[in-house]
Every structure is written in structure tokens, then in C-alpha cells.
Amino acid sequence: MARKVILPVELSRRLDKLTRLREEVKGVLFYQQRGEYCPLETMFMTAVGDEGHVQAIPERLDLVNEFFRRNPQYGYVEFHTHSFGTIARYGPYYARNFSSGDMDSLRDKLDHDERYIHMLVTPETKLLWGSDNPELIIRSDFPIKNHVDLAIGIIARNRGINIGSLGAHS
């Protein structure tokens, strides 16, 4: 059965804003699965890169991994953007499609985790990809939560890591 990923409209708008940057952005959307539903609670950016390539910042990825070690009930949807800068540089095809490089990476991740879900966010659409062809549902009556943000903030403070701005440009 296909998982249904519930995206609160407020979180959807935050993702849309990221596509207005020149750079591409990568991150994680957190959820606690309830049956077939995966209600997204919040997002955490793990990288900002140039048009066409984003590499996660190790310290930020370590924070995410520590959160999952402490909170095994959580799952995630990894996301990245094809920004206006990406589309201007590589063409309009990328406003509605994963790149071939994206697909190679996603297949590799799915080989290691059959539950893996990825979301591509562009100025025109949001696409989900996973083994069960997950469905995206955007809901205006579904609030985002702060638990994950607070927990990652505590982990970062305990490690002396500043999780402020990543330095993206609009």
C-alpha cells in the first residue's frame, strides 16, 4: 500500500521559498508514521550548494543522525530543490523532473533502505519518489510541530554547534 505523505500548508510554503534561491538546498522532513500516513512535522536543512550540486554539511547530518538515534519512532523524507537558479542554468525540464544524477542517487539509497522517500521541490511542483509510489497530500488544517526543532537545537547546543543560517542567497 502506498504511503500518504501529509505536508502541512505552512511547511509547503517554506519549501516553496527555498526554490526562489539561486542555490539548491537539501534537507530532511520528519514524521511519525501512523498506519499508511506520514504526517510531516518540520524540516531541517542539511546543505546549500550551487545550481546542480548539493553536498550535506557533516555537522548538520550528524545532528540529524543523533536525533534519529534518540527518537527511533521518527522517519524522514529527504528533500532537495531545483531552484530558479538551477532551472535558469539547465533548462525548464528540471522544473518538473528529477535529473538523471538525482535518479542514480535515489536508486542507490533505495537499495540500502526500502522505506526511503525523497521529495523534489521546484518552483512548479513537489514530486515524491519511493518504492511504493508515495502520495503527497497538502493540508491546510494540519499544524507543524516544534518537538524535532527543539530536540535538534538541544543536541546542537550540547555539541557547541551553531545551526543558524546556511548562507543561501535569494
The residue with greater pLDDT, 6 or 143, is 6
CA gap 10, 4 in Å, rounded: 18
Decide if 165 is inside a domain.
no
Query: How is the chain split among helix, strand and coil, in percent rounded to 5?
Result: 35, 30, 35
89-142 pLDDT, tens digit per residue, is: 999 999 999 999 999 999 999 999 999 999 999 999 999 999 999 999 999 887
Decide if 164 is inside a domain.
no
pLDDT of 18 reads 94
Instruction: Give the SS3 label for residue 75.
Output: strand
pTM over 0.85: yes
Number of neighbouring beta carbons within 10 Å of residue 75: 17
Decide if 170 is inside a domain.
no
CB contact set of 112 (below 8 Å; sequence gap of 6+): none
CB contact set of 157 (below 8 Å; sequence gap of 6+): none
pLDDT of 61 reads 93
pLDDT of 165 reads 55
Give me the chain's average pLDDT, please. 90
Q: Which domain holds residue 93?
A: 4-159
CATH number, domain of 125, equals 3.40.140.10
The residue with greater pLDDT, 132 or 162, is 132
Decide if 83 is inside a domain.
yes
Decide if 20 is inside a domain.
yes
> How many domains is the chain built from?
1
The residue with greater pLDDT, 155 or 37, is 37
Decide if 153 is inside a domain.
yes
Percent residues over pLDDT 70 in the chain: 95
Instruction: Give the SS3 label for residue 113.
Output: coil
Decide if 63 is inside a domain.
yes
Average of pLDDT values for 11-17? Answer: 96
Strands 126-130 and 24-31 come out as unpaired
Decide if 27 is inside a domain.
yes
CA gap 26, 15 in Å, rounded: 10
pLDDT of 151 reads 84
Query: Which of 16-25, 35-44, 105-114, 159-168 shows the lowest per-residue confidence on average (mean pLDDT)?
Result: 159-168
Average of pLDDT values for 2-28? Answer: 94
Q: Read off φ and ψ for residue 74, nearest 5 degrees.
A: -90, 145
Which DSSP symbol is given to 50?
Answer: B
